[in-house]
Amino acid sequence: MGFKTAIMGATGAVGQELLELLDERNFPLDSLKLLASKRSAGKKIKFKGEELIVEELTHDSFQGLDLVLSSAGGSISKEFAPSAVKAGAVVVDNTSFYRMDPTVPLVVPEINPEKIKEHNGIIANPNCSTILMLLPLWPLHQKFGVKRITAATYQAASGAGAQAMLELEEESVALAEGKEYKRTVIPHQYAYNLFPHNSPMMENGYCEEEWKMVNETRKIFGEEDFCVSATCVRVPVLRAHSEALNIEFNNEIDIKEAYKVLEAAPGVEVFEKREENRWPMPIDASGKDPVYVGRLRKDISNPNCIDLWLVGDQIRKGAALNAVQIAELL
């Protein structure tokens, strides 16, 4: 049995990764439709040895479809996802628009797959930084009980899309050659620089990206008062986000026991060579599925805390892979 499937936002970075993953994982397709904006319509994209033509996204694009993988931006999902549902398709949405809607399940398959059954036509994919953080955090919470987490993220250009990745490459070359460069996506000099995440600032002093990590964690864990604090930073890395986590437990835990939990955790891989001071880096995770963790250590300021370093590919597990895994469970 195959599924009549469409990718909404097929020409973007996540859309391209969705195509690759559908092929790699041999997803049961009966047909595949590529949807994008009017300016991208007519482009040809290769898939399984065939050339597929990108079609313009309209409200009539969804007739006869079973599944829509959406990664075209929140405003596009807001406008078009209801039309897909009305036509009988299930939408797995990779934008922020539906994540905190109480009627829409927010799913990480390794954590809360049972929530998929509660969908009313739309299932939301969490924010990339949230997914990467929760994959190692959830099994530790299940085993030991996490009281509070403080996260600092180091987010790559991939989180802002394919054009941001291109701008980082071009700006790096331009500055190395002593030339000026005009950016259109990133608001500050990005090459050889970093800055607090440029998502809109809220009245409480957090930016939207940080607030997503707080609220999405609570929804996925099913704990309204779960304590999360995040500081999100954009760094000049092309692909794969990194995060430094300080995790406070209800009681003191043994580092060796924490390693055992993480070694058995689905979607997580311990990656380190302690004797060489070698830990996971973005270049290790780029193009890979697991979230790599390492450098676990006791927080010397609090016996109930440990520190943990992780790296994960924002486009894969942080976006496209999580969506495809949801579709596989569907």
Residues forming the active site: 128, 241
Distance CA 277, CA 273 (A): 6
What's the 3-state SS for the chain?
A: CCEEEEEECCCCHHHHHHHHHHHHCCCCEEEEEEEECHHHCCCEEEECCEEEECEECCCCCCCCCCEEEECCCHHHHHHHHHHHHHCCCEEEECCCCCCCCCCCCECCCCCCHHHHHHCCCEEECCCHHHHHHHHHHHHHHHHHCEEEEEEEEEECHHHHCHHHHHHHHHHHHHHHCCCCCCCCCCCCCCCCCCEECCCCECCCCCEHHHHHHHHHHHHHHCCCCCEEEEEEEECCCCCCEEEEEEEEECCCCCHHHHHHHHHHCCCEEECCEHHHCECCCHHHHCCCCCEEEEEEEECCCCCCEEEEEEEECCCHHHHHHHHHHHHHHC
Token digits for 163?
């054009």
Q: What angle do CA 286, 165, 169 make, to 5 degrees?
A: 100
